[in-house]
Structure 1
Amino acid sequence: MMKLTSTLKYAALAILFAFASCADDDSVIITPEGETPNPDPVNLAPEVEVYEATKIHNNLTLAVNAGKDFAFLLDKTGQKVHEFTFDESLGNDFEILPNGKLLGIFKDPNAQINFGGHGGIVKIMNLNGDVEWEYSLSNSDFILHHDVEMLPNGNVLLLVWERILEADAAAQGSTNPGDIYPETLMEIDINTNSIVWQWRSYDHIIQDDDAALPNYGIVADNPHKINVNYNPIANGDLMHANGFDYDSNKDVIYLSVNFYSEVWVIDHSTTTAEAATGAGGNYGKGGDLVYRFGNPRAYDNMMGEVRGDRNHYPNLLENGVQGEGNMLLYVNGFAAGFSTVYELEMPTTFSLTPNTDNEPNVVWSYVNTDIFSSKISGAERLANGNTLICEGDFGFWEVTPEKEVVWRYNGGEGSFFWRAYDYEVDDPILASFGL
């Protein structure tokens, strides 16, 4: 059972804001040096380190705690206006759906596959915390992990680690020392709990290590295929995909693949049978990659810049926000030692050609050497054109298109935020929570 508690109501906040003054409290407005302080002081929580009232977007932030048993809605003054608590730990995604229901992925406490970000259970809950739908997949061969999304057709899209035994993988050309756990996508009909569509990365591998084994080919000549031996790793978690986004206009799925430092584009218009092959679907490639970007070296392409050094949350910009049709990508930046947020122009027509610069154009980026999270994290575009950045092991930043920091929230020691989702203060679905 999930318990919901409102820790602060907006009616009370409105009164508080109306009567707050520097004379009777310790309110602090932080402004850049040389600028006039904001005229109407407000009570800021100590976690708020930067607050520019005239430049921030007055939205609510859903702070999703990776691997923890709670999440909360946060306003820009740092007040937790609503809190969600759960019986199980998140593993990792949780969001408020447009219909006001709650969708989350949770950890199976008895999981046999337990890489970072493992889950095993996905739930849809109502406002009272009652579970209206639940789906579990957690055994020695499969486990749900990281991300979950409800598709426009009402089905739920899930990310799955699938175990392939070492002997079977080796027979297909894998050089990995042990069992491997490549990525699978499953679409579940919540009315029947049946798998209505599936894509397996393992159906689209290539290797150039042994010509006598299946899947042999020149990696550089086959950019639509996945080099199964790009990243051998002792525990078998070769790819460690961590998030996806669905593009309803193009009917494709963008999948962030952390250990390949790439985003893969997968044709969702295929049937499951076509998705297991290299033919069919709107793009004629079946389940082969329609497009990929971030790390051309992953398919032995020496052309194009490597920008995807580990990455999270391929967030397609939609619903009329600035840059609609582009993608925000949080690049964790292992090599650089700092993280970068890129806004990338998605091509109108997907093209993936050998020995060619296939990388998308950079429309906007934000670099701040104070921002570095080696795991989790993400970015959202706000209605006023600002960008909300979740630095997973710190907190949240809001920056303007001109790259001015106008809000910063320090979650404190031990912070581990999966993502930050944006909700408008007047969003009707929040009224259900008493906000």
Structure 2
Amino acid sequence: MPSHHAMNAMRIALPTLLALALALDPALALVGVGVGVARADCPADLSGDQQVDAGDLAVVLSSWGTAVGDVTGDGTTNAKDLASILGAWGACPAAPIEWTLLTATNGTATNAIDSTGAIVRSWTGAAGGTSVGYLRSDGSLVRPTVHAAGTFSGPARGGRIQIFSPTGTLTNDLLVSTSEFQQHHDVRPMPNGNILCIVWEAHTLAEAQAAGRQTITTEFWPDSILEIQPTGTTTYNIVWRWNMWDHLIQDVNPALANYGVVADHPELIDINLGLVSGGNWSHCNSIDYDPVRDEILFSSRAFSEVLVIDHSTTTAEAATHAGGARGRGGDILYRWGNPGNYGRSTATNRFLYFVHGATWIDEGMPGAGNILMFNNGDRDGTVNDYSSVYEIVPPRDGKGNYSIAATNAYAPSAPAWTYGAPGQIYGGPIQCGAFRTLDGTTLITLNNTARTFEVNSAGTVIWDRANTGLTIARAPRYRMVNGVWVGP
């Protein structure tokens, strides 16, 4: 903090500096000092005219000690802001090229829009999207879509992944749909060019009952995760696989498979959770990959949970309880939102009531390594529903493993950041979501009201769009940085 003498000197100097600003631009004396909207990449441009000049200097000097001329974000206009103005003097850098992707689930288009809402690129798929279209770093698009001829039929059924070149040409048309499995909801491109897919995996009624499922009258479709490697226009290899079926537990019948004490095994999933509707059970709806930790994050609507598994295993290890970088095979490394699923609920530790859109916050973004999710908030009853976006800090020990006490639920006991309160937003019980942006803001989509909007860390809405006539599950934003597209 500056000394008392330094602060007195600064106060004495302010009139002189303000006079200097007027000398640099005499027009300020006539029009007064104004504050516009500064771009995130040019925060010293307080007047919003794409120049850091005498007008911005005048704003800082005339609002000293208040928040009006705050450039650095500490809430006060002070010497740091003055230094920022002088250091950034001149024209702002060219505005970055940014695209927000809108993939319609009720139409065949994925559109890229700019900050004004204008469509700058459009791709046309074979059918409606199942969730989100993703832009790769080279500008190619990966778009999951409906395969109506597939064997499986359930919420957000897909079965077809189309890949478009940076110029918009369809290069791959992959049917991820057999009698054994079918893609649904979300996919996620990986840095190595492969694609992670959520798929239903078919098991018979008899198999489900032998595995310990009690209430069931149909087939049983627990989710699996495939990593596919495109090899041709219509061909691919499955290079890695994880099956939820291999990580189940039940505490009802010791004569059946998977018997154990549910509360002693948070790394396993209770086969008797929830309902089975036409085969659909776990209803996983989003997937993301962390290349730093080599881990996969996914969300389950049916379980009201977000879950993490290890991707460093082989497929064989992923079917067991050992192996991989964490030594746990394909067991659940971490889960959060509904501890009652593993017998450790209290009156206050449930946070999720249906969940969609779980994502890692990537390196280089505020909150890197944390988890962002959309809590639909479809609570019991009809009068207390509201949605929230949560950011949580997963509990990791010094070795990077997820820590949990013997009888407690996984931490944290509360989100690190929340947007959404009673009466503020409600997305309904369907696909919605949120993505963190490179500017540290959060882009939120409410499917039921066709709205995508952006909030800053204080929860102030700074951009708002009506997706009239479209059903949009989530909307990621990408920025061109040094010739490559960067996004969530």
TM-score of the superposition, structure 1-length normalised? Answer: 0.82
- Helix, strand or coil for the counterpart of 1:73? strand
Greater shift, 110-119 or 353-362, is seen at 353-362
Q: Is the 8 A contact 1:67 1:117 kept in 2?
A: no
- Helix, strand or coil for the counterpart of 2:245? helix
Aligned amino acid, residue 265 of structure 1: V
Shift of 1:231: 0.8
Aligned amino acid, residue 340 of structure 1: S
Distance 1:58 1:96 in 2: 14
Pick one of 346, 358, 368 that aligns with 1:314: 358
Distance 1:189 1:59 in 2: 28
Q: Is the 8 A contact 2:363 2:369 kept in 1?
A: no
Shift of 1:252: 1.1
1:346 matched residue in structure 2? 394
Greater shift, 117-126 or 64-73, is seen at 64-73
Q: Is the 8 A contact 2:338 2:345 kept in 1?
A: no
User: Structure 1 residue 406 and structure 2 residue 462: aligned?
Assistant: yes
Distance 2:464 2:480 in 1: 18
- Helix, strand or coil for the counterpart of 1:362? coil
Pick one of 239, 247, 254 that aligns with 1:204: 247
Structure-to-structure mapping, 1:67-78, within 5 angstroms: 67-78=106-117
Q: Is the 8 A contact 2:110 2:122 kept in 1?
A: yes
Aligned amino acid, residue 165 of structure 1: T
Pick one of 453, 456, 477 that aligns with 1:397: 453
Gaps of 5+ in 1: 1-28, 31-37, 41-53, 431-435
Greater shift, 341-350 or 186-195, is seen at 186-195
1:91 matched residue in structure 2? 130
User: Structure 1 residue 359 and structure 2 residue 411: aligned?
Assistant: yes
Greater shift, 129-138 or 231-240, is seen at 129-138
1:337 matched residue in structure 2? 385
Distance 1:219 1:103 in 2: 38
Aligned amino acid, residue 387 of structure 2: S
- Helix, strand or coil for the counterpart of 2:130? strand
- Helix, strand or coil for the counterpart of 2:206? helix
1:418 matched residue in structure 2? 473
Distance 2:97 2:415 in 1: 28
Pick one of 324, 340, 346 that aligns with 2:368: 324
1:132 matched residue in structure 2? 171
Shift of 1:71: 1.7
Distance 2:121 2:193 in 1: 26
Distance 1:130 1:110 in 2: 24
Distance 1:114 1:292, change over 3 A: same
1:227 matched residue in structure 2? 270
Shift of 1:81: 2.7
Distance 1:99 1:239, change over 3 A: same
2:324 matched residue in structure 1? 281
Q: Is the 8 A contact 2:132 2:475 kept in 1?
A: no
Aligned amino acid, residue 190 of structure 1: P
Shift of 1:290: 1.1
Distance 1:319 1:286, change over 3 A: closer
Greater shift, 391-400 or 238-247, is seen at 391-400
Distance 2:405 2:321 in 1: 16
Distance 2:402 2:261 in 1: 22
1:101-148 Cα deviation digits (max 9, x unpaired): 111111112122121111111122213443323321223431111111
2:188 matched residue in structure 1? 149
Q: Is the 8 A contact 1:294 1:359 kept in 2?
A: no
1:291 matched residue in structure 2? 334
Point out the structure with the larger helix share: 2
Aligned amino acid, residue 110 of structure 2: A
User: Structure 1 residue 372 and structure 2 residue 439: aligned?
Assistant: no
Distance 1:76 1:392 in 2: 20
2:53 matched residue in structure 1? none
Distance 1:218 1:384 in 2: 45
CA RMSD of the aligned region, Å?
Answer: 2.6
Distance 1:39 1:317, change over 3 A: closer
Q: Is the 8 A contact 2:356 2:376 kept in 1?
A: yes
Q: Is the 8 A contact 1:316 1:325 kept in 2?
A: yes
Gaps of 5+ in 2: 1-35, 38-46, 50-70, 74-95
Distance 1:395 1:426, change over 3 A: farther
Distance 1:195 1:58 in 2: 35
Aligned amino acid, residue 366 of structure 1: Y
1:189 matched residue in structure 2? 229
Distance 1:189 1:423 in 2: 24
Distance 1:198 1:71, change over 3 A: same
Q: Is the 8 A contact 2:274 2:303 kept in 1?
A: yes
Point out the structure with the larger strand share: 1
1:177 matched residue in structure 2? 217
- Helix, strand or coil for the counterpart of 2:132? strand
- Helix, strand or coil for the counterpart of 2:302? helix
Q: How many residues align?
A: 382
Distance 1:356 1:252, change over 3 A: same
Shift of 1:58: 8.6
1:278-320 Cα deviation digits (max 9, x unpaired): 1111112111111111110111112461112111121111131
Aligned amino acid, residue 418 of structure 2: S
Distance 1:174 1:146 in 2: 25
